[in-house]
Amino acid sequence: MSIQAVIFDMDGVIIDSEGFWQRAQIEVLAKQGIAITVEECESTTKGKRIDDIARLWCERYALSISSRQVEVQIVARVCTAIRREGVAMSGLDQALRSFRAAGYRLALATSSCKQIIEAVFDRLKLWDWFDVVCSADEEPFGKPHPAVYHKVMFKLGLEARECRVIEDSLSGFTAARRAKIETFVVAADYQDVKFAAALGRYPTLDELIDALQPALA
């Protein structure tokens, strides 16, 4: 059966926002007297849902504020940064236009909450591009659980073999694989062995589209 849809992750695939998430976490924990590093954020929370991130830091450092307060503070900072500074990942426009021209439906499966999605879609003017938008924030479990990918397929009315995913984090890659969807990895660390099972691995969306061009023509 032919491919009918391409499902995008958002943070790190559509928008260059990973630095915003790291900065927000560092700032919020600093207010509690806790110093964390970019490397800790990268290895511990990348690709995870905000409630899972907040809970993790609260439990690890026995913070005096609730995980909900941590969550609200991080989201507020990230939304502000996206609306002021957010830029699309290299090759996004070409990817959207190429997939749409080839007849594929486009969907979003993100760990980010509704406020972040709205900030990104407003900033990058993406509202007309996606047929289905799903957030793991609305599911019982976030990535690496496959729930958000199951929801996307349900809304698309498609099966796993009819879809392809683009992810950048191990958490998201694992979620897509657990949903049995073949996945392309587009990330700075694309050559890492943790992504060895990917359908293809590329440093940018530009290179992914270049590699897929014969099939998209």
- The CATH number assigned to the domain holding 147 equals 3.40.50.1000
The pLDDT of residue 35 is above 70 = yes
The region that residue 66 occupies, defined by phi over 0 for left and psi between -120 and 50 for alpha, beta otherwise, is: beta
Provide the pLDDT for residue 200. Answer: 97
| Whether 126 and 183 share a structural domain | yes
Amino acid at 86: G
| Whether 190 and 98 share a structural domain | yes
Average pLDDT over residues 8-14: 96
How many residues are given for the chain? 217
The pLDDT of residue 216 is above 90 = no
Q: How far apart are CA 18 and CA 123, in angstroms?
A: 16
Indicate the number of domains in the chain.
2
The pLDDT of residue 1 is above 60 = no
Provide the pLDDT for residue 11. Answer: 94
pTM of the model: 0.90
Provide the pLDDT for residue 217. Answer: 64
Helices (H), the chain: 18-30, 38-44, 50-61, 67-85, 92-101, 114-124, 147-156, 170-178, 205-216
Average pLDDT for the chain: 95
| Whether 112 and 174 share a structural domain | yes
The pLDDT of residue 177 is above 60 = yes
Q: How far apart are CA 22 and CA 9, in angstroms?
A: 18
The pLDDT of residue 180 is above 60 = yes
Provide the pLDDT for residue 193. Answer: 98
Q: How far apart are CA 107 and CA 136, in angstroms?
A: 13
Residue pLDDT, tens place only, 196-208: 999 999 999 999 9
Q: At which of 85, 114, 139 does a domain end?
A: 85
| Whether 101 and 61 share a structural domain | no
Q: Which domain holds residue 91?
A: 5-16+87-216
